[in-house]
Structure 1
Protein backbone atom coordinates (compact mmCIF):
# COMPACT_ATOMS: atom_id res chain seq x y z
CA UNK A 1 0.00 0.00 0.00
CA UNK A 2 1.27 3.49 -0.81
CA UNK A 3 2.15 5.38 2.35
CA UNK A 4 -0.11 8.02 3.80
CA UNK A 5 2.52 10.12 5.55
CA UNK A 6 4.23 13.51 5.60
CA UNK A 7 5.65 12.96 2.10
CA UNK A 8 2.20 12.76 0.46
CA UNK A 9 1.94 14.76 -2.77
CA UNK A 10 -0.20 15.08 -5.85
CA UNK A 11 -4.00 14.83 -5.84
CA UNK A 12 -6.05 13.09 -3.17
CA UNK A 13 -9.44 13.29 -4.81
CA UNK A 14 -12.49 13.85 -2.61
CA UNK A 15 -14.98 11.38 -4.04
CA UNK A 16 -18.74 11.47 -4.26
CA UNK A 17 -20.80 8.57 -2.95
CA UNK A 18 -22.72 6.91 -5.80
CA UNK A 19 -26.38 6.02 -5.35
CA UNK A 20 -28.91 4.35 -7.62
CA UNK A 21 -31.88 6.29 -9.00
CA UNK A 22 -33.88 5.03 -6.04
CA UNK A 23 -31.32 6.30 -3.52
CA UNK A 24 -29.67 3.00 -2.56
CA UNK A 25 -25.91 2.78 -2.17
CA UNK A 26 -24.49 1.79 -5.57
CA UNK A 27 -21.45 -0.40 -5.06
CA UNK A 28 -21.11 -1.26 -8.76
CA UNK A 29 -20.81 2.44 -9.54
CA UNK A 30 -18.32 2.75 -6.71
CA UNK A 31 -16.01 0.44 -8.64
CA UNK A 32 -16.53 2.48 -11.82
CA UNK A 33 -15.79 5.69 -9.95
CA UNK A 34 -12.59 4.34 -8.41
CA UNK A 35 -11.36 3.14 -11.80
CA UNK A 36 -12.25 6.51 -13.35
CA UNK A 37 -10.19 8.36 -10.73
CA UNK A 38 -7.17 6.08 -10.86
CA UNK A 39 -7.08 6.14 -14.66
CA UNK A 40 -6.74 9.92 -14.43
CA UNK A 41 -3.69 9.76 -12.24
CA UNK A 42 -4.82 10.65 -8.73
CA UNK A 43 -2.34 9.75 -6.00
CA UNK A 44 -4.94 9.17 -3.27
CA UNK A 45 -8.66 9.03 -2.56
CA UNK A 46 -10.53 10.67 0.30
CA UNK A 47 -14.00 9.34 1.08
CA UNK A 48 -16.86 10.15 3.46
CA UNK A 49 -16.23 13.88 3.26
CA UNK A 50 -18.80 16.67 3.09
CA UNK A 51 -19.25 16.27 -0.68
CA UNK A 52 -19.42 12.53 -0.14
CA UNK A 53 -22.75 12.96 1.70
CA UNK A 54 -21.25 11.22 4.73
CA UNK A 55 -23.93 12.53 7.08
CA UNK A 56 -26.62 10.92 4.93
CA UNK A 57 -25.16 7.41 5.25
CA UNK A 58 -25.98 4.89 7.91
CA UNK A 59 -23.06 3.41 9.86
CA UNK A 60 -23.43 0.17 7.91
CA UNK A 61 -23.45 2.02 4.58
CA UNK A 62 -20.33 3.99 5.52
CA UNK A 63 -18.47 0.78 6.23
CA UNK A 64 -19.80 -0.97 3.12
CA UNK A 65 -18.72 1.96 0.94
CA UNK A 66 -15.27 2.07 2.56
CA UNK A 67 -14.85 -1.67 2.07
CA UNK A 68 -15.77 -1.41 -1.61
CA UNK A 69 -13.39 1.48 -2.26
CA UNK A 70 -10.48 -0.18 -0.46
CA UNK A 71 -11.03 -3.49 -2.23
CA UNK A 72 -11.21 -1.82 -5.64
CA UNK A 73 -8.12 0.31 -5.01
CA UNK A 74 -6.10 -2.79 -4.07
CA UNK A 75 -3.36 -0.78 -2.39
CA UNK A 76 -2.50 1.27 -5.47
CA UNK A 77 -3.07 4.59 -3.69
CA UNK A 78 -3.84 5.60 -0.09
CA UNK A 79 -7.49 5.80 0.96
CA UNK A 80 -8.27 8.43 3.63
CA UNK A 81 -11.63 8.37 5.41
CA UNK A 82 -13.43 11.31 7.01
CA UNK A 83 -14.31 10.46 10.63
CA UNK A 84 -15.09 13.91 12.05
CA UNK A 85 -17.55 13.84 14.94
CA UNK A 86 -18.27 15.97 18.01
CA UNK A 87 -18.26 12.74 20.04
CA UNK A 88 -15.11 10.68 20.45
CA UNK A 89 -16.89 7.37 20.89
CA UNK A 90 -18.33 7.61 17.37
CA UNK A 91 -15.02 8.86 15.96
CA UNK A 92 -13.09 6.03 17.56
CA UNK A 93 -15.57 3.38 16.48
CA UNK A 94 -15.58 4.50 12.84
CA UNK A 95 -11.80 4.87 12.81
CA UNK A 96 -11.26 1.34 14.09
CA UNK A 97 -13.77 -0.01 11.56
CA UNK A 98 -12.28 1.68 8.49
CA UNK A 99 -8.69 0.91 9.49
CA UNK A 100 -9.65 -2.76 9.92
CA UNK A 101 -11.09 -2.59 6.40
CA UNK A 102 -7.74 -1.39 5.04
CA UNK A 103 -7.96 2.41 5.02
CA UNK A 104 -4.64 4.26 5.10
CA UNK A 105 -5.67 6.92 7.60
CA UNK A 106 -8.43 9.30 8.61
CA UNK A 107 -9.34 12.98 8.41
CA UNK A 108 -10.65 15.09 11.30
CA UNK A 109 -12.11 18.60 11.41
CA UNK A 110 -12.95 20.50 14.62
CA UNK A 111 -16.60 20.62 15.70
CA UNK A 112 -18.52 23.90 15.67
CA UNK A 113 -18.60 23.89 19.48
CA UNK A 114 -14.93 24.88 19.90
CA UNK A 115 -14.05 28.55 19.57
CA UNK A 116 -10.93 29.65 21.46
CA UNK A 117 -7.40 28.50 20.70
CA UNK A 118 -7.28 26.62 24.00
CA UNK A 119 -10.55 24.84 23.24
CA UNK A 120 -9.36 23.88 19.77
CA UNK A 121 -6.01 22.61 21.03
CA UNK A 122 -7.67 20.65 23.84
CA UNK A 123 -10.07 19.05 21.36
CA UNK A 124 -7.20 17.79 19.21
CA UNK A 125 -5.38 16.48 22.28
CA UNK A 126 -8.42 14.24 22.72
CA UNK A 127 -8.33 13.38 19.00
CA UNK A 128 -4.77 12.13 19.51
CA UNK A 129 -5.88 10.00 22.46
CA UNK A 130 -8.79 8.60 20.47
CA UNK A 131 -6.90 7.79 17.27
CA UNK A 132 -3.76 6.43 18.91
CA UNK A 133 -1.31 5.17 16.25
CA UNK A 134 -3.56 5.96 13.28
CA UNK A 135 -2.12 8.56 10.86
CA UNK A 136 -4.50 11.44 10.38
CA UNK A 137 -5.16 14.62 8.42
CA UNK A 138 -6.12 17.90 10.09
CA UNK A 139 -8.96 19.48 8.10
CA UNK A 140 -9.17 23.28 8.27
CA UNK A 141 -12.51 24.17 6.68
CA UNK A 142 -13.99 27.18 8.51
CA UNK A 143 -16.75 27.73 5.93
CA UNK A 144 -18.23 24.35 6.88
CA UNK A 145 -17.25 24.13 10.56
CA UNK A 146 -17.47 27.77 11.62
CA UNK A 147 -14.14 27.29 13.43
CA UNK A 148 -11.33 29.72 12.65
CA UNK A 149 -7.94 28.16 13.29
CA UNK A 150 -5.07 30.63 13.23
CA UNK A 151 -1.62 29.56 12.02
CA UNK A 152 -0.49 29.73 15.66
CA UNK A 153 -3.06 27.25 16.93
CA UNK A 154 -2.52 24.94 13.95
CA UNK A 155 1.21 24.88 14.67
CA UNK A 156 0.39 24.18 18.31
CA UNK A 157 -1.77 21.21 17.24
CA UNK A 158 0.95 19.88 14.94
CA UNK A 159 3.58 20.06 17.68
CA UNK A 160 1.30 18.03 19.96
CA UNK A 161 0.25 15.53 17.29
CA UNK A 162 3.03 13.19 16.14
CA UNK A 163 0.56 11.12 14.05
CA UNK A 164 -0.85 14.12 12.17
CA UNK A 165 0.83 13.74 8.80
CA UNK A 166 -1.20 16.13 6.66
CA UNK A 167 -3.08 19.42 6.72
CA UNK A 168 -6.06 19.86 4.44
CA UNK A 169 -6.01 23.60 3.88
CA UNK A 170 -9.45 25.01 3.04
CA UNK A 171 -9.50 28.47 4.57
CA UNK A 172 -10.60 31.17 2.14
CA UNK A 173 -8.82 33.51 1.71
CA UNK A 174 -5.98 31.45 3.05
CA UNK A 175 -2.83 31.93 0.99
CA UNK A 176 -1.10 33.80 3.81
CA UNK A 177 -1.98 31.05 6.29
CA UNK A 178 -0.66 28.36 3.97
CA UNK A 179 2.58 30.27 3.48
CA UNK A 180 2.96 30.73 7.25
CA UNK A 181 2.54 27.01 7.91
CA UNK A 182 5.09 26.08 5.27
CA UNK A 183 7.54 28.74 6.45
CA UNK A 184 7.31 27.40 10.01
CA UNK A 185 8.20 23.89 8.89
CA UNK A 186 10.99 25.17 6.63
CA UNK A 187 12.49 26.96 9.64
CA UNK A 188 12.24 23.83 11.78
CA UNK A 189 9.68 25.32 14.17
CA UNK A 190 7.51 22.27 13.56
CA UNK A 191 8.02 18.99 11.74
CA UNK A 192 7.16 19.06 8.06
CA UNK A 193 3.71 17.78 7.15
CA UNK A 194 2.06 17.39 3.80
CA UNK A 195 -0.21 20.32 2.92
CA UNK A 196 -2.93 19.61 0.38
CA UNK A 197 -5.43 22.27 -0.58
CA UNK A 198 -9.18 21.95 -0.86
CA UNK A 199 -10.46 25.39 -1.71
CA UNK A 200 -13.54 25.18 -3.92
CA UNK A 201 -12.57 22.39 -6.26
CA UNK A 202 -9.10 23.88 -6.58
CA UNK A 203 -10.15 27.46 -7.40
CA UNK A 204 -6.81 28.80 -6.14
CA UNK A 205 -4.67 25.76 -6.92
CA UNK A 206 -1.82 27.42 -8.92
CA UNK A 207 -1.37 30.13 -6.31
CA UNK A 208 -1.52 27.61 -3.46
CA UNK A 209 1.17 25.50 -5.11
CA UNK A 210 3.36 28.58 -5.35
CA UNK A 211 2.84 29.21 -1.62
CA UNK A 212 4.12 25.76 -0.67
CA UNK A 213 1.22 23.32 -1.07
CA UNK A 214 2.15 19.76 -2.02
CA UNK A 215 -0.96 19.25 -4.10
CA UNK A 216 -4.74 19.15 -3.82
CA UNK A 217 -7.31 17.31 -1.74
CA UNK A 218 -10.62 18.34 -3.21
CA UNK A 219 -13.17 17.25 -5.78
CA UNK A 220 -13.92 18.17 -9.37
CA UNK A 221 -15.56 16.20 -12.16
CA UNK A 222 -12.32 16.53 -14.17
CA UNK A 223 -9.69 15.23 -11.71
CA UNK A 224 -7.16 15.30 -14.53
CA UNK A 225 -7.23 19.09 -14.28
CA UNK A 226 -5.69 18.98 -10.81
CA UNK A 227 -3.35 16.13 -11.74
CA UNK A 228 -2.02 17.99 -14.77
CA UNK A 229 -1.77 21.36 -13.02
CA UNK A 230 0.16 19.88 -10.09
CA UNK A 231 2.45 17.95 -12.44
CA UNK A 232 3.21 21.03 -14.57
CA UNK A 233 3.88 23.15 -11.50
CA UNK A 234 6.15 20.51 -9.96
CA UNK A 235 8.32 20.34 -13.06
CA UNK A 236 8.69 24.13 -13.00
CA UNK A 237 6.34 24.93 -15.89
CA UNK A 238 4.24 27.40 -13.93
CA UNK A 239 2.79 29.14 -16.98
CA UNK A 240 1.58 25.83 -18.37
CA UNK A 241 -0.01 25.07 -15.00
CA UNK A 242 -1.89 28.38 -15.13
CA UNK A 243 -2.94 27.88 -18.76
CA UNK A 244 -4.40 24.46 -17.98
CA UNK A 245 -6.10 25.75 -14.86
CA UNK A 246 -7.65 28.67 -16.76
CA UNK A 247 -9.17 26.31 -19.31
CA UNK A 248 -11.12 24.47 -16.59
CA UNK A 249 -11.85 27.45 -14.35
CA UNK A 250 -15.33 28.42 -15.63
CA UNK A 251 -16.69 24.92 -15.07
CA UNK A 252 -14.88 24.52 -11.74
CA UNK A 253 -16.39 27.81 -10.62
CA UNK A 254 -19.88 26.73 -11.72
CA UNK A 255 -19.48 23.48 -9.79
CA UNK A 256 -18.78 25.43 -6.61
CA UNK A 257 -22.13 27.19 -6.38
CA UNK A 258 -23.63 27.01 -2.92
CA UNK A 259 -26.71 24.80 -2.91
CA UNK A 260 -26.36 23.00 -6.23
CA UNK A 261 -22.63 22.25 -6.41
CA UNK A 262 -22.92 18.58 -5.52
CA UNK A 263 -25.72 18.06 -8.04
CA UNK A 264 -23.55 19.69 -10.72
CA UNK A 265 -20.60 17.43 -9.90
CA UNK A 266 -22.70 14.28 -9.91
CA UNK A 267 -24.39 15.31 -13.17
CA UNK A 268 -20.97 15.75 -14.79
CA UNK A 269 -19.58 12.50 -13.39
CA UNK A 270 -22.69 10.72 -14.68
CA UNK A 271 -22.21 12.35 -18.10
CA UNK A 272 -18.59 11.17 -18.15
CA UNK A 273 -19.59 7.60 -17.30
CA UNK A 274 -18.00 7.55 -13.85
CA UNK A 275 -21.27 6.83 -12.02
CA UNK A 276 -24.54 5.30 -13.20
CA UNK A 277 -26.85 7.87 -11.60
CA UNK A 278 -26.54 11.53 -10.59
CA UNK A 279 -28.87 10.97 -7.62
CA UNK A 280 -28.28 13.17 -4.55
CA UNK A 281 -29.84 12.01 -1.31
CA UNK A 282 -32.27 14.25 0.53
CA UNK A 283 -31.83 16.92 1.65
CA UNK A 284 -30.17 17.70 -1.62
CA UNK A 285 -30.39 19.92 -4.70
CA UNK A 286 -31.82 19.23 -8.13
CA UNK A 287 -30.73 20.84 -11.36
CA UNK A 288 -33.10 22.84 -13.53
CA UNK A 289 -33.19 22.67 -17.32
CA UNK A 290 -31.34 25.98 -17.39
CA UNK A 291 -28.65 24.59 -15.11
CA UNK A 292 -28.15 21.65 -17.44
CA UNK A 293 -27.95 23.97 -20.45
CA UNK A 294 -25.35 26.12 -18.68
CA UNK A 295 -23.27 23.05 -17.91
CA UNK A 296 -23.41 21.78 -21.49
CA UNK A 297 -22.23 25.14 -22.79
CA UNK A 298 -19.34 25.28 -20.33
CA UNK A 299 -18.24 21.75 -21.23
CA UNK A 300 -18.22 22.63 -24.95
CA UNK A 301 -16.16 25.74 -24.29
CA UNK A 302 -13.77 23.80 -22.05
CA UNK A 303 -13.25 21.13 -24.71
CA UNK A 304 -12.53 23.83 -27.30
CA UNK A 305 -9.96 25.56 -25.10
CA UNK A 306 -8.23 22.33 -24.15
CA UNK A 307 -7.89 21.40 -27.82
CA UNK A 308 -6.13 24.72 -28.38
CA UNK A 309 -3.64 23.95 -25.61
CA UNK A 310 -2.53 20.57 -26.94
Structure 2
Protein backbone atom coordinates (compact mmCIF):
# COMPACT_ATOMS: atom_id res chain seq x y z
CA UNK A 1 0.00 0.00 0.00
CA UNK A 2 1.29 3.42 -0.95
CA UNK A 3 2.24 5.32 2.17
CA UNK A 4 4.95 7.37 3.82
CA UNK A 5 4.98 5.61 7.19
CA UNK A 6 5.55 8.92 9.00
CA UNK A 7 2.18 10.28 7.88
CA UNK A 8 -1.03 8.28 8.31
CA UNK A 9 -4.31 8.38 10.18
CA UNK A 10 -6.63 11.17 11.28
CA UNK A 11 -5.11 14.64 11.64
CA UNK A 12 -7.42 17.19 13.24
CA UNK A 13 -7.05 20.52 11.43
CA UNK A 14 -7.29 22.46 14.66
CA UNK A 15 -9.05 25.74 15.31
CA UNK A 16 -6.95 28.65 16.53
CA UNK A 17 -8.32 30.12 19.78
CA UNK A 18 -8.32 33.92 20.01
CA UNK A 19 -9.16 36.26 22.86
CA UNK A 20 -11.78 38.93 22.17
CA UNK A 21 -9.01 41.45 21.43
CA UNK A 22 -7.66 39.17 18.67
CA UNK A 23 -4.60 37.90 20.53
CA UNK A 24 -3.82 34.19 20.66
CA UNK A 25 -5.24 32.21 23.57
CA UNK A 26 -2.39 29.74 23.94
CA UNK A 27 -3.79 28.08 27.05
CA UNK A 28 -7.11 27.33 25.35
CA UNK A 29 -5.21 25.97 22.35
CA UNK A 30 -3.18 23.65 24.54
CA UNK A 31 -6.24 22.35 26.38
CA UNK A 32 -7.93 21.58 23.08
CA UNK A 33 -4.85 19.90 21.63
CA UNK A 34 -4.43 17.78 24.77
CA UNK A 35 -8.03 16.63 24.33
CA UNK A 36 -7.47 15.72 20.68
CA UNK A 37 -4.33 13.72 21.39
CA UNK A 38 -5.89 11.95 24.36
CA UNK A 39 -8.96 11.11 22.22
CA UNK A 40 -6.90 9.17 19.71
CA UNK A 41 -6.16 11.37 16.72
CA UNK A 42 -2.96 10.38 14.93
CA UNK A 43 -1.76 13.89 14.21
CA UNK A 44 -2.51 17.60 14.36
CA UNK A 45 -2.57 20.17 11.58
CA UNK A 46 -2.37 23.75 12.80
CA UNK A 47 -2.91 26.99 10.90
CA UNK A 48 -4.90 25.49 8.09
CA UNK A 49 -7.96 27.32 6.77
CA UNK A 50 -9.94 25.99 9.73
CA UNK A 51 -7.23 27.56 11.88
CA UNK A 52 -7.75 30.96 10.22
CA UNK A 53 -4.24 31.19 8.80
CA UNK A 54 -5.38 33.89 6.38
CA UNK A 55 -6.10 36.18 9.33
CA UNK A 56 -2.65 36.12 10.96
CA UNK A 57 0.49 37.98 9.97
CA UNK A 58 3.75 36.25 9.15
CA UNK A 59 5.22 37.16 12.53
CA UNK A 60 2.11 36.00 14.36
CA UNK A 61 2.20 32.72 12.44
CA UNK A 62 5.80 32.14 13.51
CA UNK A 63 4.99 33.04 17.12
CA UNK A 64 2.12 30.55 17.19
CA UNK A 65 4.35 27.84 15.74
CA UNK A 66 7.10 28.57 18.27
CA UNK A 67 4.64 28.18 21.14
CA UNK A 68 2.43 25.32 19.95
CA UNK A 69 4.60 22.95 17.90
CA UNK A 70 7.10 22.16 20.70
CA UNK A 71 4.14 21.57 23.04
CA UNK A 72 2.82 18.67 20.93
CA UNK A 73 5.53 17.48 18.54
CA UNK A 74 6.93 14.84 20.90
CA UNK A 75 3.47 13.36 21.40
CA UNK A 76 2.01 13.36 17.91
CA UNK A 77 2.75 14.13 14.27
CA UNK A 78 2.44 17.83 13.44
CA UNK A 79 1.75 19.37 10.04
CA UNK A 80 1.61 23.16 9.77
CA UNK A 81 -0.25 25.09 7.10
CA UNK A 82 2.05 27.67 5.52
CA UNK A 83 0.11 28.87 2.49
CA UNK A 84 0.94 32.35 1.28
CA UNK A 85 0.95 34.07 -2.10
CA UNK A 86 4.70 34.72 -2.15
CA UNK A 87 6.98 31.69 -2.27
CA UNK A 88 9.57 33.45 -0.12
CA UNK A 89 6.97 34.02 2.60
CA UNK A 90 6.14 30.29 2.48
CA UNK A 91 9.83 29.50 2.84
CA UNK A 92 10.14 31.87 5.80
CA UNK A 93 7.26 30.12 7.56
CA UNK A 94 8.55 26.62 6.78
CA UNK A 95 11.95 27.39 8.25
CA UNK A 96 10.23 28.32 11.52
CA UNK A 97 8.24 25.06 11.45
CA UNK A 98 11.45 23.15 10.85
CA UNK A 99 13.25 24.90 13.70
CA UNK A 100 10.32 24.34 16.07
CA UNK A 101 10.13 20.58 15.55
CA UNK A 102 7.23 20.19 13.12
CA UNK A 103 7.11 17.18 10.83
CA UNK A 104 5.77 18.63 7.56
CA UNK A 105 4.35 21.80 6.02
CA UNK A 106 1.09 22.01 4.07
CA UNK A 107 1.35 24.21 0.97
CA UNK A 108 -1.58 25.19 -1.23
CA UNK A 109 -1.01 26.71 -4.65
CA UNK A 110 -0.81 30.52 -4.43
CA UNK A 111 -4.48 31.35 -3.85
CA UNK A 112 -4.69 34.52 -5.92
CA UNK A 113 -2.42 34.41 -8.97
CA UNK A 114 -3.68 31.11 -10.45
CA UNK A 115 -0.34 29.74 -11.68
CA UNK A 116 -0.08 27.48 -14.70
CA UNK A 117 0.73 23.82 -14.12
CA UNK A 118 4.36 24.46 -15.06
CA UNK A 119 4.57 27.42 -12.67
CA UNK A 120 3.01 25.32 -9.93
CA UNK A 121 5.69 22.63 -10.23
CA UNK A 122 8.45 25.22 -10.23
CA UNK A 123 6.97 26.93 -7.19
CA UNK A 124 7.00 23.70 -5.21
CA UNK A 125 10.49 22.88 -6.48
CA UNK A 126 11.80 26.28 -5.39
CA UNK A 127 10.22 25.96 -1.93
CA UNK A 128 11.67 22.49 -1.43
CA UNK A 129 15.15 23.51 -2.57
CA UNK A 130 15.19 26.40 -0.10
CA UNK A 131 13.83 24.46 2.88
CA UNK A 132 14.74 20.76 2.47
CA UNK A 133 11.65 19.88 4.49
CA UNK A 134 8.74 17.44 3.96
CA UNK A 135 5.87 19.06 2.10
CA UNK A 136 2.18 18.21 1.93
CA UNK A 137 0.99 19.08 -1.58
CA UNK A 138 -2.50 20.51 -1.24
CA UNK A 139 -4.99 20.20 -4.09
CA UNK A 140 -8.03 22.38 -3.39
CA UNK A 141 -9.50 23.94 -6.55
CA UNK A 142 -12.24 25.66 -4.56
CA UNK A 143 -9.71 27.63 -2.52
CA UNK A 144 -7.08 28.54 -5.11
CA UNK A 145 -8.91 28.36 -8.42
CA UNK A 146 -6.74 25.70 -10.06
CA UNK A 147 -6.70 21.91 -10.11
CA UNK A 148 -3.45 19.98 -9.96
CA UNK A 149 -3.65 17.82 -13.07
CA UNK A 150 -2.64 14.17 -13.22
CA UNK A 151 0.60 14.72 -15.14
CA UNK A 152 1.47 17.58 -12.78
CA UNK A 153 1.02 15.32 -9.78
CA UNK A 154 3.37 12.84 -11.40
CA UNK A 155 6.00 15.56 -11.72
CA UNK A 156 5.46 16.65 -8.12
CA UNK A 157 5.88 13.06 -6.96
CA UNK A 158 9.41 13.14 -8.36
CA UNK A 159 10.43 16.11 -6.23
CA UNK A 160 12.58 15.05 -3.27
CA UNK A 161 10.52 16.45 -0.41
CA UNK A 162 7.00 15.57 -1.55
CA UNK A 163 5.81 13.55 1.45
CA UNK A 164 2.02 13.80 1.51
CA UNK A 165 -0.87 14.87 -0.71
CA UNK A 166 -4.02 16.45 0.71
CA UNK A 167 -6.68 15.80 -1.93
CA UNK A 168 -9.53 18.25 -1.36
CA UNK A 169 -11.24 18.40 -4.74
CA UNK A 170 -14.19 16.42 -3.37
CA UNK A 171 -13.94 14.09 -6.39
CA UNK A 172 -13.47 10.47 -5.33
CA UNK A 173 -12.24 9.60 -8.83
CA UNK A 174 -9.44 12.14 -8.35
CA UNK A 175 -8.58 10.63 -4.97
CA UNK A 176 -8.34 7.18 -6.55
CA UNK A 177 -6.21 8.55 -9.38
CA UNK A 178 -3.75 10.15 -6.96
CA UNK A 179 -3.59 7.00 -4.81
CA UNK A 180 -2.88 4.90 -7.90
CA UNK A 181 -0.10 7.21 -9.10
CA UNK A 182 1.62 8.02 -5.80
CA UNK A 183 4.96 6.30 -5.12
CA UNK A 184 5.58 4.37 -1.90
CA UNK A 185 7.26 7.41 -0.36
CA UNK A 186 4.11 9.56 -0.53
CA UNK A 187 0.97 9.34 1.61
CA UNK A 188 -2.41 10.40 0.21
CA UNK A 189 -4.85 12.06 2.61
CA UNK A 190 -8.53 12.82 2.22
CA UNK A 191 -9.09 16.56 2.49
CA UNK A 192 -12.87 16.68 2.01
CA UNK A 193 -14.68 15.61 5.16
CA UNK A 194 -17.76 14.16 3.49
CA UNK A 195 -15.91 11.63 1.34
CA UNK A 196 -13.71 10.21 4.13
CA UNK A 197 -15.24 6.72 4.01
CA UNK A 198 -14.91 6.51 0.24
CA UNK A 199 -11.35 7.86 0.35
CA UNK A 200 -10.22 5.25 2.88
CA UNK A 201 -11.87 2.54 0.79
CA UNK A 202 -9.99 3.85 -2.25
CA UNK A 203 -6.67 3.60 -0.41
CA UNK A 204 -6.13 7.04 1.13
CA UNK A 205 -4.12 6.42 4.30
CA UNK A 206 -4.99 9.63 6.13
CA UNK A 207 -7.51 12.39 6.64
CA UNK A 208 -7.08 16.09 7.39
CA UNK A 209 -10.33 16.37 9.31
CA UNK A 210 -12.37 19.38 10.39
CA UNK A 211 -14.86 17.27 12.33
CA UNK A 212 -12.06 15.75 14.43
CA UNK A 213 -11.96 19.04 16.36
CA UNK A 214 -15.21 18.07 18.07
CA UNK A 215 -15.58 14.33 17.34
CA UNK A 216 -12.03 12.93 17.45
CA UNK A 217 -13.08 9.50 18.71
CA UNK A 218 -15.59 8.97 15.91
CA UNK A 219 -13.14 10.12 13.26
CA UNK A 220 -10.39 7.84 14.56
CA UNK A 221 -12.86 4.94 14.77
CA UNK A 222 -13.90 5.45 11.14
CA UNK A 223 -10.27 5.33 10.02
CA UNK A 224 -9.61 2.23 12.09
CA UNK A 225 -12.65 0.37 10.77
CA UNK A 226 -12.30 1.20 7.07
CA UNK A 227 -8.59 1.65 6.45
CA UNK A 228 -6.97 -0.55 9.06
CA UNK A 229 -9.54 -3.31 9.61
CA UNK A 230 -11.11 -3.23 6.11
CA UNK A 231 -14.44 -3.62 7.89
CA UNK A 232 -16.75 -1.68 5.60
CA UNK A 233 -19.91 -2.57 7.49
CA UNK A 234 -18.55 -1.26 10.79
CA UNK A 235 -17.23 1.79 8.98
CA UNK A 236 -20.58 2.51 7.33
CA UNK A 237 -22.32 2.46 10.68
CA UNK A 238 -19.99 5.15 12.02
CA UNK A 239 -20.05 7.10 8.77
CA UNK A 240 -23.82 7.28 8.49
CA UNK A 241 -24.03 8.64 12.02
CA UNK A 242 -21.47 11.40 11.48
CA UNK A 243 -22.21 12.18 7.82
CA UNK A 244 -24.73 14.95 8.61
CA UNK A 245 -21.97 16.75 10.52
CA UNK A 246 -19.45 16.16 7.75
CA UNK A 247 -21.86 17.52 5.15
CA UNK A 248 -22.52 20.69 7.13
CA UNK A 249 -18.80 21.38 7.48
CA UNK A 250 -18.39 21.09 3.70
CA UNK A 251 -21.38 23.29 2.85
CA UNK A 252 -22.02 25.80 5.65
CA UNK A 253 -19.64 28.74 5.07
CA UNK A 254 -18.73 29.39 8.73
CA UNK A 255 -16.55 26.47 9.70
CA UNK A 256 -14.27 28.05 12.36
CA UNK A 257 -17.22 29.69 14.09
CA UNK A 258 -19.21 26.45 13.98
CA UNK A 259 -16.42 24.36 15.45
CA UNK A 260 -15.65 26.89 18.17
CA UNK A 261 -19.31 27.02 19.12
CA UNK A 262 -19.60 23.22 19.25
CA UNK A 263 -16.42 23.04 21.32
CA UNK A 264 -17.93 25.52 23.78
CA UNK A 265 -20.82 23.08 24.23
CA UNK A 266 -18.23 20.45 25.18
CA UNK A 267 -16.60 22.70 27.76
CA UNK A 268 -13.75 24.09 25.64
CA UNK A 269 -13.66 27.87 25.37
CA UNK A 270 -11.82 28.45 22.09
CA UNK A 271 -12.81 32.07 22.00
CA UNK A 272 -13.52 34.26 19.05
CA UNK A 273 -12.75 34.43 15.34
CA UNK A 274 -10.83 37.27 13.76
CA UNK A 275 -12.39 39.73 11.38
CA UNK A 276 -13.86 39.60 8.82
CA UNK A 277 -15.50 36.57 10.43
CA UNK A 278 -18.32 37.28 12.84
CA UNK A 279 -19.86 35.03 15.47
CA UNK A 280 -22.82 32.78 14.73
CA UNK A 281 -26.28 34.14 15.35
CA UNK A 282 -28.58 32.27 17.72
CA UNK A 283 -30.47 30.98 14.68
CA UNK A 284 -27.25 29.68 13.11
CA UNK A 285 -26.23 28.02 16.36
CA UNK A 286 -29.52 26.18 16.49
CA UNK A 287 -29.13 25.19 12.83
CA UNK A 288 -25.69 23.63 13.20
CA UNK A 289 -26.61 21.72 16.34
CA UNK A 290 -29.70 20.29 14.65
CA UNK A 291 -28.26 19.72 11.17
CA UNK A 292 -25.04 18.14 12.44
CA UNK A 293 -26.83 15.93 14.99
CA UNK A 294 -24.25 17.40 17.32
CA UNK A 295 -25.39 15.48 20.38
CA UNK A 296 -24.72 12.17 18.61
CA UNK A 297 -21.02 12.63 17.82
CA UNK A 298 -17.96 12.25 20.01
TM-score, with structure 2 as normaliser: 0.90
1:126-275 alignment, distance < 5 Å: 126-131=126-131, 133-159=132-158, 161-172=159-170, 174-185=171-182, 190-199=183-192, 202-220=193-211, 221-233=214-226, 234-275=228-269
Query: Structure 2 vs 1, CA of residues 45 and 181 (structure 1 numbering), >3 Å: closer, same or farther?
Result: same
Query: Structure 2 vs 1, CA of residues 114 and 251 (structure 1 numbering), >3 Å: closer, same or farther?
Result: closer
Unaligned 5+ residue runs, structure 2? none
Does the residue aligned with 2:166 lie in a helix, a strand or coil?
Answer: strand
Cα drift, residue 170 of structure 1: 0.4
Does the residue aligned with 1:33 lie in a helix, a strand or coil?
Answer: helix
Cα drift, residue 259 of structure 1: 2.7
Cα drift, residue 276 of structure 1: 4.1
Residues 250-288 of structure 1 deviation map (CA, whole Å, 9 limit, x = unaligned) = 1222233343222111101122123342x1110003212
- Structure 1 distance, partners of 2:276, 2:68, is 24
Cα drift, residue 239 of structure 1: 1.2
Q: Indicate if the aligned counterparts of 2:46 and 2:80 stay in contact, CA closer than 8 A.
A: yes
1:294-305 alignment, distance < 5 Å: 294-298=287-291, 301=293, 303=295
Cα drift, residue 28 of structure 1: 0.7
Unaligned 5+ residue runs, structure 1? none
- Structure 1 distance, partners of 2:254, 2:73, is 33
Q: Indicate if the aligned counterparts of 2:87 and 2:123 stay in contact, CA closer than 8 A.
A: no
- Structure 1 distance, partners of 2:289, 2:106, is 34
Q: Indicate if the aligned counterparts of 1:16 and 1:266 stay in contact, CA closer than 8 A.
A: yes
Note the aligned Cα RMSD (angstroms): 2.1
Q: Report how many residues are paired.
A: 292
Cα drift, residue 69 of structure 1: 2.0
Tell me what 1:104 maps to.
103
Query: Structure 2 vs 1, CA of residues 265 and 302 (structure 1 numbering), >3 Å: closer, same or farther?
Result: closer
Q: Which has the higher contact order (CA 8 A, sep 6+)?
A: 2
Tell me what 1:287 maps to.
280
1:119 aligns with 2:112: no
Q: Indicate if the aligned counterparts of 2:78 and 2:103 stay in contact, CA closer than 8 A.
A: yes
